[in-house]
């Protein structure tokens, strides 16, 4: 029996909450495992989309090294205003706003940036979900 709209909506919310724990914990392989095999992550305009878990893991590790090794901080990805659009083929298209709150040690006020629009295609995977495709578009680049 397919999931009801309501059950699917809540499953997507719980999935995203878990996914950002991996992302914000800098757990590259865990984060990549939330994508389907061969999943595509188009994380920034003007770059080649990442294809597959190995590529996602590698890029995330490189980014952490490049960006945070000399500037340690705690990132928190916040998603909001989620829409889900279940498709006939069992996939779920989603669309939501996202922002990163970046906190540096000893500084109470996080840097809030950038505001983005994100579009995913998810597939149901047993009791969970996987990202088949993600496109992130920051508002400042529009």
Binding-site ranges for its own copies (CB under 8 A): 4-7, 9-11, 13-14, 16-18, 20-21, 74, 76-84, 95-97, 99, 101, 103-115, 117, 138-140, 142
17 or 62, CB closer to its own copies? Answer: 17
- The least CB distance from residue 103 to its own copies, in Å, is 4
The Cα–Cα gap between 53 and 70 comes to 26
Q: In the chain, what is the greatest distance between 2 CA atoms, to the nearest angstrom?
A: 50
8 Å CB contact between 136 and 98: yes
68 or 97, CB closer to its own copies? Answer: 97
| Number of CB atoms found within 10 A of residue 50's CB | 22
The CA-atom distances, in angstroms, between 128 and each of 10, 19, 32, 109, 141 are: 11, 11, 15, 34, 33
- The least CB distance from residue 123 to its own copies, in Å, is 19
In total, the chain counts a number of residues equal to 142
18 or 52, CB closer to its own copies? Answer: 18
14 or 64, CB closer to its own copies? Answer: 14
- The least CB distance from residue 105 to its own copies, in Å, is 6
């Amino acid at each position: 029996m397919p999931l009801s709209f309501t059950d699917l909506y809540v499953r997507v919310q719980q999935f995203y909450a878990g996914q950002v724990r991996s992302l914000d914990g800098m757990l590259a392989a865990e984060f990549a495992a939330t994508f389907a095999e061969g999943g595509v992550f188009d994380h920034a305009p003007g770059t080649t989309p990442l294809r597959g878990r190995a590529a996602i893991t590698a890029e995330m590790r490189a980014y952490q090294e490049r960006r945070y090794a000399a500037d340690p901080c705690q990132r928190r990805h916040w998603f909001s205003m989620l829409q889900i659009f279940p498709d006939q083929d069992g996939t779920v298209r989603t669309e939501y706003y996202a922002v990163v709150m970046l906190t540096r040690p000893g500084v109470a006020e996080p840097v809030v940036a950038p505001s983005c629009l994100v579009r995913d295609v998810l597939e149901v995977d047993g009791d969970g979900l996987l990202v088949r495709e993600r496109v992130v578009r920051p508002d400042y680049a529009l």
